[in-house]
Amino acid sequence: MQKKQFRLFLLISFFLVSGSDLMAQMAEKIQPIFDNGEAQVVEAFADPENWIRHDLWVETTFDSDGDGKLDRMHVDVTRPKQTETEGLKLPVVYESSPYYAGTAGLGDGIFWDVKHELGEMGKPRQHPEVLRIGERPVISNSQIRTWVPRGYIVVHSSSPGTGLSDGAPTVGGDNESLAPKAVIDWLCGRAKGYTERDGNQEVKAYWSTGKVGMTGTSYNGTLPLAAATTGVEGLEAIIPIAPNTSYYHYYRSNGLVRSPGGYLGEDIDVLYDFIHSGDKSKRARNNKVIRDTEMKNGLDRITGDYNDFWAGRDYLNDMAPMKAALLMSHGFNDWNVMPEHSYRIYDKAREMGLPVQIYYHQNGHGGPPPIEMMNRWFTRYLFGIENGVENDPKSWIVRENDERDQPTSYKDYPNPDASDVTLFLTKGAPAQGGLTHNKPNKQGKETLVDNYSFSGSALAEAEFTNHRLIYVSPILTKDLHISGIPKVSVKLSSSKPAANLSVWLVSLPWTEGRNTQITDNIITRGWADPQNYQSITESKPLVPNKFYEVTFDLMPDDQIIPAGQQIGLMIFSSDKEFTLWPKPGTELTVDLDGTTISLPVVGGKKSYIEATYEDE
């Protein structure tokens, strides 16, 4: 063979071999794996030694700390090394929080005093310092071990005025929606990120596909909804877990000043102080503008009325631009962020035609859906895998004593087979009256005396007491399934111009621990200010001894009351764990003939009659 031909042969052979190697290398590139409609754990993604972790600051469109510069949010990223070594682009699971960098202690004086008459402010409260904790570059490790091995990138950010993020916390203000929007815009190439808080060296999210999902619990579950209400492009799906969807509904009930369960005396300014872990040099200004002006003028602990301040912190009012697919999760016995928060958003999103599902369990605050549900949701909307999740049942309820990863599916929530059954009251104070679906002859009036010294559970257990009125159904001979939102209408008068009104629906006899999944024997409950009998936006002092009709919803529920129990409607005034504590002695008189409760019973009136053996 001539030398020239030999060189050509070698050259061709080299390219053939190199091309083969290149094709082999391409074939060996690590990619996400899907099975049964879910992203699977990939060994190459699962080793933390192969993760790339870094932090940066994303520039927003607002200046909430008033320093003349656009606020920047502190962000961290955790991604498989293949996003760097192989140019792999992946979708993002994103969680934002005001809690990552530390919070204030819950010492004496941080909460509002509750021992005073309605219509008063109580003693001034203390404002504690928040000490920031944590070091760069890691903001949080949440979500990482769940999602990075399955082929996602995980991103965290500290919300405005917390940690190393600029700005001021507003607890539901516009900047708390626009901050995660800016991070999503950066992930989609529409906003700028920087390597330093005050620097000019840009960093780009070249490893992102531009598909983002958000999740988190409590406040961290609120922020996905906040971001979604901006309509930001790229936020494809959210999974809020026990989210606070309205700060009015968190700190008030139907015009009544009410604390979240476990935090008696908390209000929105308390939460502001609790999370304000940002730049110390900005706190005095932030406190003056946000806490001591906007919040002080807006929160209105005097009347408890719904006003523009609260309307601006109610995400239901901002949902029109929302496009993200919504999977909600909540506990029916969450008396901190109560189950109405998720239902009201789910109901609106369903009305808007968005892809929706709701998962309810029988426990308290927190509790995500099973990982399989979350995985199917994110796989469908972030990876675009056609797994049919949009055709799955909309409602998933963890039945009593079932494991949380074994929910029962229903076509929707409330159960479509449920219909309202109106129940009437028969007299019996100070012991028990009756609860019947047959409207009785005239029953007259019964009176209770307010006394915050007695807890709601003590009142429900008592055989005789003049501090509550209680009306019970016949003993159930069959299980009774309640699904939906009970509604109560109470016709009452007060001996004073203002009074608390508390209503519990309970299962009797009261036997602690009758069910490990259910909090005591409480089915559901609700609170209202009789002064707001016409509207939650305007309260009017009660004319003593004049009767008013107060109608309001109790918290959503889906519960099977077992045979052998009785359903009890308990009406009382001050609820020791939730309301203000006025001086004992206020008398509430209830007109039994003008008072009813409507129960959403699966199977309707027929099922109720069969379970109680009441004749038509």
Whether the pLDDT of residue 549 is over 80: the answer is yes
Tokens 């309640």 correspond to: 482
Q: Give tens-digit pLDDT for 519-539.
A: 469 999 999 999 999 999 999
How many residues would you count in the chain?
616
- Which residues, other chains included, contact 10 with Cβ-Cβ below 8 Å and sequence gap of 6+? none
Whether the pLDDT of residue 107 is over 50: the answer is yes
Residue 314 gets which letter from DSSP? Answer: B
Q: Of 430, 449, 429, which is closest to residue 582 (Cα–Cα)?
A: 449
The single-letter code of the amino acid at 429 is A
DSSP strand E in 411-500: where?
A: 418-426, 432-436, 445-449, 469-472, 480-484, 487-494
- The DSSP result for 48-116, as a single string, is GGGEEEEEEEEE-S--TT-SSS--EEEEEEEEETHHHHS---EEEEEEEESSTT------TTSSPP--S
> What is the pLDDT, as a whole number, of residue 390?
94
Q: What is the CATH number of domain 33-101+132-250+323-410?
A: 3.40.50.1820
Query: Which pair of structure tokens corresponds to residue 139?
Result: 């903001």
Q: Of 132, 125, 231, 130, which is closest to residue 177 (Cα–Cα)?
A: 231
Residue 281 gets which letter from DSSP? Answer: H
Q: Give tens-digit pLDDT for 571-581.
A: 999 999 999 99
Report domain extents, the chain. Answer: 33-101+132-250+323-410, 418-612
pLDDT range class, residue 513, cuts 50, 70, 90: low
Query: Which pair of structure tokens corresponds to residue 188?
Result: 């989609």
CB contact at 8 A, 163 and 132: yes
Query: Which pair of structure tokens corresponds to residue 172?
Result: 């539901």
Q: Give the span between the Cα atoms of 549 and 492, in whole angstroms.
A: 7
Global confidence as pTM: 0.94
Q: Of 444, 359, 366, 441, which is closest to residue 406 (Cα–Cα)?
A: 359
- Helix axis angle, 219-228 to 175-187, nearest 10°: 70
Q: Give the span between the Cα atoms of 282 and 267, in whole angstroms.
A: 22
* CA 230 to mean position of chain CA atoms: 18
Q: Give the span between the Cα atoms of 302 and 171, in whole angstroms.
A: 20
Q: Give the span between the Cα atoms of 112 and 255, in whole angstroms.
A: 18
Q: Of 261, 587, 346, 318, which is closest to residue 449 (Cα–Cα)?
A: 587
Q: Give the span between the Cα atoms of 552 and 556, in whole angstroms.
A: 12
Query: Which pair of structure tokens corresponds to residue 391?
Result: 């055709």
Q: Give tens-digit pLDDT for 249-295.
A: 999 999 999 999 999 999 999 999 999 999 999 999 999 999 999 99
Secondary structure (3-state) at 226? helix
Whether the pLDDT of residue 26 is over 80: the answer is no
Q: Give the span between the Cα atoms of 474 and 426, in whole angstroms.
A: 12
CB contact at 8 A, 289 and 282: no
| Pairing verdict, β 356-361 and 395-397 | parallel
Torsion-angle region of residue 279: left (phi > 0), alpha (psi -120 to 50) or beta? beta
CB contact at 8 A, 222 and 215: no
> What is the pLDDT, as a whole number, of residue 578?
98
Q: Give the span between the Cα atoms of 42 and 147, in whole angstroms.
A: 11
Query: Which pair of structure tokens corresponds to residue 212?
Result: 């983002």
CB contact at 8 A, 197 and 166: yes
Handedness of CA 375, 401, 477, 591 (dihedral sign): negative
Q: Give tens-digit pLDDT for 311-363.
A: 999 999 999 999 999 999 999 999 999 999 999 999 999 999 999 999 999 99
Q: What is the largest CA-CA distance in the chain?
A: 119
| Pairing verdict, β 90-97 and 208-217 | parallel
Query: Which pair of structure tokens corresponds to residue 20?
Result: 């083969």
> What is the pLDDT, as a whole number, of residue 106?
82
Q: ∠ CA(573), CA(575), CA(580), 5° rounding?
A: 90
Q: What is the CATH number of domain 418-612?
A: 2.60.120.260
> What is the pLDDT, as a whole number, of residue 18?
46
CB contact at 8 A, 475 and 566: yes
Residues assigned a catalytic role: 218, 334, 365
Query: Which pair of structure tokens corresponds to residue 567?
Result: 């359903």
Q: Give tens-digit pLDDT for 371-403.
A: 999 999 999 999 999 999 999 999 999 999 999
pLDDT range class, residue 22, cuts 50, 70, 90: very low
* Helices and strands of the chain, counted as H and E runs: 15, 29
pLDDT range class, residue 29, cuts 50, 70, 90: confident
pLDDT range class, residue 138, cuts 50, 70, 90: confident
